[in-house]
Amino acid sequence: MLFALSDRRLLMVPVAVQYVLTSAIAEPYIGLPLMGIRLIVGLAIAVIIYITAARTERVLSHWRVTRPERNTAALSSMGAVFRVLAMALGALLAIGLWSSDPLPEAPSAVLLCALWLLGIGLSLVLSRTGPLQIGIGVLVAINGFQIVYLSLESSLLIVALTGLLDLLVALTVAYASDRWLDAQIEEGATP
């Protein structure tokens, strides 16, 4: 769904579903009360994504009508250098996880989900051209990492801080997306 949906507003659905499922997976390790808190944080993030996406869609749809010759994908980026570095980081992470011994202690089902989410998140980051979609890729990857991490380290402070970090990342994504949109409007207004 994350790859298929073109309407940014609908992206909140897979994001919300993902937080429900990952909270359920983490429940045996962090307990029911903390699972509830993680679920609330996840749903709040989905709402943040929806609000940001709604504004982006509204502005961009108006913009496409008024300036059809411009393409939102043709923006400055760090291009190939970024992709190679991101891939290298991903590979290093995978090597780090596999070649050391922490993984046998994580249940195999949890590990499978985590690696899957990490892979999806990384692909989104590398392949999408909008700040919101890239940000969602980051959130998905964080979710993947957190399932394994919380199955191994489930102290109250860690769970609280990972929740706080999730929220801060979502806010950063919303903020960056908003600034990108403002800059687009300014550039669109300038001949």
Partner 1 sequence: MTLTILIVPFVAAGIVYALRTLRLACATVASLAALLIAALLLIGGDAPALVLLGRSLYLAAPVRAHIAFTLVLLSAVLLTSWQLPEDPLASTLAFMALGFLLWALALGTLSLGVLLLVASILMMLMAVTAAPGPASLWPVRVLAIVIGAAFLMLSAAWMLEHSAGTSQNPGQLAPILLFLGSWVLMGAFPFSVWYVPALRSDSSVGRVLLGALLSHALLVHILLQLETVLAPINALVPVLMFYAGIATLILGGIGAAVQRRVSGVLAYLSMGSLGSALIALGAGSSVSEALGLTTLLYRGVGLTAMSIGVRTLTQSVGDDSLETMRGAFHRAPMAVLATLLGGFSLAGFPPLAGFTTNFTLFRMIASQSAQWAVALAATTILPALALTRLASRVFLVVPVPSSRREPRTAAIVGLVLGALLLLLGLWPDALSSLSGPWTDILLSLTVAS
Which residues here bind partner 1, judged by CB under 8 A? 75-78, 81-82, 85-86, 89-90, 92-93, 96-97, 99-100, 102, 125, 129, 131, 134-135, 137-138, 141-142, 145, 149, 152-153, 157-158, 161-162, 164-165, 168-169, 171-173, 175-177, 179-180, 183-184, 187
CB 1 within 8 Å of CB 14? yes
Which of residues 21 and 86 has its CB atom nearest to partner 1 in the complex?
A: 86
The DSSP symbol for 31 reads -
Minimum distance, C-beta of residue 150 to partner 1, in the bound complex (Å): 11
Minimum distance, C-beta of residue 117 to partner 1, in the bound complex (Å): 12
CB 44 within 8 Å of CB 167? yes
CA atoms within 13 A on the CB side of 17: 8
Minimum distance, C-beta of residue 179 to partner 1, in the bound complex (Å): 5
Which of residues 40 and 168 has its CB atom nearest to partner 1 in the complex?
A: 168
Minimum distance, C-beta of residue 17 to partner 1, in the bound complex (Å): 21
Residues 132/136/141/143 CA torsion (nearest 10 deg): 140
The DSSP symbol for 75 reads -
The DSSP symbol for 106 reads S
